[in-house]
Amino acid sequence: MDASALHTPVMLERTLALLAPAIEAAAAAGRTPLVIDGTLGMGGHTEAMLAAHPTLVVAGIDRDPDAIRLAGERLARFGGRFLPVQTTYDRIDEALEAAGAEAADGILLDLGVSSLQLDAADRGFAYAKDAPLDMRMGQSGETTAATILAERSDRELSRLFKVYGDEKLADRYARAIVAARAEAPIETSAQLVDILQAATPRALANQGHPAKRVFQALRIEVNQELAILERTMPAAIDALAVGGRLVVLAYQSLEDRIVKRALQAAVASTTPRDLPVELPEHAPHLRLLVRGAELADETERAANPRSTPVRLRAAERIRPLTFTPATSPSRGEQP
């Protein structure tokens, strides 16, 4: 399987442009630049970065063993400049350890489900393809979409669909699922789609596929995506060298809200308002590189429909997280 033929990276040129100044500054200082690709997928972003910067090392994180294997094949020509790390992307410390580094010059997070997982017919991520209701990104752990549908009460399912899917028919769908499973286990995506379609009022049948938001909610719950992202954002900010840059691509509002909140906290001063001067230890430690969230342009949305919902946010580390003027700077930080 050719990974490059299966995957078109979202907002590739913009991502490269935002990370390039930090990579080039590290190289100009005589260091080996390090970028952590926290969501390796099939390696499209990593391949472009390695090709553009001849001394760059990229540590690529992915929990999915298939992604690690396919990306490894795609990036084999870069030798030791690519370091695969099979874990969840909140474990940035493991990527730093693999690279033998204390900090990174760039971190990229391309959130959500990958093209590999959506296109794999046997993983159950896509409602348009009949498959077992698995949805585990890492293919480990006991909780699958099928077990959630089998074990949760109608109230729990409804809340899940509302919170993680913003589904207006959450109560109706939850009751339909509980009624259907009393007759037979719900084990495949086609079964679930049939239940949801039958429960959708005829007047709403043409307002988008009824399974879209339910499948999204199940995927997020199975993989604990939002909980991991909540841990990832402070870990990523802390892992950046001074001058290092963080770029995050989010595809739905819950993800983007977590990213936005973490960046806003890092760019705000925490000096008490009644003090006449800003205390150094309370100064912002990031600066935003883009105003608000950037969208893919019309050309990219037409060529790559998966870029349509993306929201890009980016920031640069401007000082250490902890103000310690008496200590020596860590990797990549200037006194």
Task: List residues forming the annotated binding site for S-adenosyl-L-methionine.
Answer: 43-45, 62, 89, 110, 117
For residue 193, report the phi and psi dihedrals to the nearest 5 degrees: -60, -45
Annotation: binding site: 43-45, 62, 89, 110, 117
CA 15 to chain centre: 14
- Any idea which residue has 């000082």 for tokens? 319
Q: Of 106, 60, 110, nearest to 81 (Cα)?
A: 60
CB distance 18 to 52 below 8 Å:
no
Q: Which residues, 6 or more positions from 248, have their beta carbon under 8 angstroms from its beta carbon? A: 108, 109, 111, 259, 312, 313, 314
Say if residue 334 is exposed, middle or buried (CB neighbours under 10 Å; 0-12, 13-18, 19+): exposed
Residue 25: how many CB atoms within 10 A of its CB?
18
List Cα–Cα distances, 281 to 39, 227, 272, 284, 320, in angstroms. 32, 28, 12, 9, 9
Q: How many residues are given for the chain?
A: 335
Q: Of 78, 69, 29, nearest to 49 (Cα)?
A: 78
Q: In angstroms, rounded to a whole number, what is the distance separating the alpha carbons of residues 331 and 242?
A: 9
Q: How many helices (H) and strands (E) are present in the chain, helices listed first?
A: 14, 7
